[in-house]
Structure 1
Amino acid sequence: MKPDSEENRADLEEPPRECLRHIARLSQKQTPLLLSWEKKRYLWFYRFYCDHENSSLPLVLGSAPGWDEGTVSEMHVLLRKWTFSHPLEALGLLTASFPDQDIREVAVQQLDNLLTDELLEYLPQLVQAVKFEWNLESPLVELLLRRSLQSIQMAHSLFW
């Protein structure tokens, strides 16, 4: 299913500053699990006005109303336009809440920008995220194995 064209979205009026401030306040929750249904709906409605300065991508995508084709297509549009403030922002996209393989692949691409020492700090979370992969030939598993071949410290930590 094709998403609406980008030109149609350019016609939308920018929301008032109060809406943008409200989005920034909502994003302080850090997880969509802490948002009420109304707040998720609000955040999803203004999703095209969210960016790395006033929100986080896992929060915005986690506010989506479902996983139907149209919604997933809108998620992919948002994902392509998003500018990550830091690669660790993508860590939230590797939870069980995001089964879509394209979303998970973008998250792994962002994490690949981390240095090995930084990646080591989050190795327990990444190993736990492997549980939510569909198969063992996933980008996350490939990242962990590739980095293990490059660093004996990474290999040792991953082994234990």
Structure 2
Amino acid sequence: MVDNSVAEVNPAEKPTVASKDKSSRPSPPMVASGKFGNTTLRIDYSSPSVKERKIWGELVPYNKVWRAGANEATTITTDGELTVAGKKLQAGKYSFYVIPTEKDWTIIVNSQTGQWGIKRNRETTRLIENDVMKAKVTPINSSNFIERLTYEIKNDGFNLKWENLVLHVPVK
């Protein structure tokens, strides 16, 4: 049974940065969490809105690494081994990145965590030497418009949903 809970981060669980309330950000912190067997998968991300912008290929350029959210780099945490997009992933906390293209996307799981998602030049803070897993996944068009970036845990994996696309990442 999968618990596909998606929630704003509890203010008591949020680290404080210069005493700013992260929940008041334009891209507030969110959490998606669920179980695959006895293993819990948690995704922590900041959820930007479309705000009448073209997302794929413009705000999020094709063929460049993206932090898969806003603000800090998106993280995934698992308390047991999982198979993600056909690749083994050990228990731990990781940053989650994607490289979107017009067809297949590359998902990247990276052992570095805690970093801000991008540098001043708009490049990600990802250090390639810390990549622990890469896999190809194909997004599909969404049947409805999705204003706010959302992660959703499903029985067979998780979805990244935003604007007009859904990226399904299989998990076992």
Tell me whether the two structures share a fold, i.e. TM-score over 0.5.
no
Q: TM-score, normalised by structure 2?
A: 0.23
**Bigger helix share:** 1
Asked which structure has the greater CA Rg, the reply is 1
Q: TM-score, normalised by structure 1?
A: 0.24
- Point out which structure has higher relative CO (alpha carbons under 8 A, 6+ apart): 2
